[in-house]
Amino acid sequence: MTALHSIIMGAVQGITEFLPISSSAHLILIPWFFKVSEGNVNALTYDVMLHFGTLFAVLLLYGKRFLRVVVEGLVDFKNGRGGRSMLFKMVVATIPAVVAGLLGKDIIETYLRAPFVAAFMLALVSILMIVSERITVDRSDLTMPIAIAIGVAQAIALVPGTSRSGITITMALLLGLRKSEAVDFSFMLSIPIILGTSLYEMRHVQFQGDATVLYVCGMLSAFVFGALSLKFLIGYLKKHTLDLFAYYRIGLALLILVVSLVSPL
């Protein structure tokens, strides 16, 4: 892997981490397309560094709001109102993904990290995205049942091709949450997941030789492109639907199927 390859992969991670188009599907296709091999980098270390880049990106836009939720939640717990706080809803909504990640990691890595699985999930979630923009439901506040359902959706996003932002925002819309609130909750919910995953995997991190430069390039690229893509998405969804991303995902699903049949990924 060269510095340019590292920057490209970091950019892909940053953009696809936040846009509802699935980072895992792109990370299956992009290395094949650009002929990127791990070579002189430790794959796990590189992955952790990219995740720290995207963590810094979401903190740049949502850090103050997240901190406010934490402080207000702690005050509510102190005053006996913690069960109704946003912090408590976020904690509960995070549990399904944590459990799924710890118990299902080996199954996902062994059986589900395949082009056909990614293509299927790309198409399936695309259909749900289109439907969510067309159904008429009574708009409601973020209740605990809705938070739990969004948390379950986040757990499903561990399957390649799903997209964490795509399925959580879609689930929120299907359950009647306002789009702006759905977007905000989705990305606030990503903070503990990305942070927890990165810290959990830190025990395997190995910095060695010239590869350190590649890790830094990837992390900075993921941060810059992640922040830009997140800011773009927030503004875009204020005026537009998820349709554009859904159609892109369907096209990507078809491309992955064709590529995997012609030249195995």
Whole-number pLDDT of residue 208: 67
Whole-number pLDDT of residue 19: 96
Whole-number pLDDT of residue 29: 75
Asked if residue 225 lies in contact with residue 16, where contact means CB atoms within 8 angstroms, the answer is no
Amino acid at 52: F
More confident residue, 8 or 128: 128
More confident residue, 51 or 138: 51
The structure tokens 């503990």 sit at 192
What is the pLDDT averaged over residues 258-262?
84
Confidence of residue 233 (pLDDT cuts 50, 70, 90): very high
Write down how long the chain is: 265
The answer to whether residue 84 scores a pLDDT higher than 90 is no
What is the pLDDT averaged over residues 130-145?
87
What is the total count of domains within the chain?
1
pTM here is 0.92
What is the pLDDT averaged over residues 187-191?
96
Whole-number pLDDT of residue 97: 95
Confidence of residue 47 (pLDDT cuts 50, 70, 90): confident
Range of the domain at 66: 3-262
Residues 108-120 pLDDT 10s: 888 888 889 999 9
